Amino acid sequence: MSLSKKAVAEFIGTFWLVFGGCGSAVIAAAFPNVGIGLLGVALAFGLTVLTMAYAIGHISGCHLNPAVTVGLVVGKRFPASDMLAYIVAQVAGGITAGAVLLIIASGKAGFDLSGGFAANGYAEHSPGGYSLAACLLAELVLTFMFLMIILGATDKRAPQGFAPIAIGLGLTLIHLIGIPVTNLSVNPARSTGPAVFVGGWAVQQLWLFWVAPIIGAAIAGFIYPLMAGEPEAAKATAAR
């Protein structure tokens, strides 16, 4: 599969993640009488990854997230030479999703970007008023655990065919934990999409939602191989 085709798949997949996840928060979370709430938004993010993993996993690996791509590079699961193309496609997909979501949301009278547009934030822009330090630690730890789930579920020694389910449920779980803290990112592309249109504080605070997830993912990419070791097949191949 060519790199250009993989990049297109990553663009579409990340578009779906941001549009589906952030769209559920912006449009459906507090809809009168039938709002889906925090649980619904968390599930929506998990479902975007679950559905795309089956749709494009065989094309690009379904990273949908610059932090995931970095973590897989550190864990020697993905070539560093393809990393930049993936990250550019992911960010472009996130921003495009933000643009489409803005057009749709603006179709309702009274819509105002000052409501946050599902942007991630810390301190006064944290949904629960959590401090910068708390938000940074939460994003780092939750991204670390997300990558550990990804690396473990996609290990050749793990039960085959179930990785998308584990990863989708893992993303749902960490959203249940992290939405009150930062609106939860663990994904720089997801954070960049809404922030570009909110501007101001959202862009100023965007650095945390690049730095913390990438560090957390890189740590997982380093630790998982140390913990799990190499599959026996890989050892046998290396010995030849």
Q: What is the pLDDT of residues 98-141, one digit of tens each?
A: 999 999 999 988 888 887 899 999 999 999 999 999 999 999 99
pLDDT, tens digit, 9 for 90 and up, residues 135-154: 999 999 999 999 999 999 99
Beta-carbon-side half-sphere exposure of residue 144 (alpha carbons within 13 Å): 14
Total length of the chain: 240
* DSSP state for residue 191 in the 8-state scheme: H
Q: Is residue 36 part of a domain?
A: yes
Residue 224 inside a domain? The answer is: yes
Is pLDDT at 240 greater than 60 in this prediction? Answer: no
- The pTM score is 0.92
Q: For residue range 22-66, what is the model confidence (pLDDT) as tens digits?
A: 999 999 886 666 678 899 999 999 999 999 999 999 999 999 999
Residue 71's CATH number: 1.20.1080.10
Q: Give the DSSP H or E segment for 135.
A: helix 132-153
Which residues constitute the domain of residue 220? Answer: 3-108+115-231
Tell whether 238 is covered by a domain.
no
In a domain, 237, yes or no: no
Q: How many domains does the chain fold into?
A: 1
The phi, psi pair for 15, rounded to 5°, reads -55, -45
Answer whether residue 239 is part of any domain. no
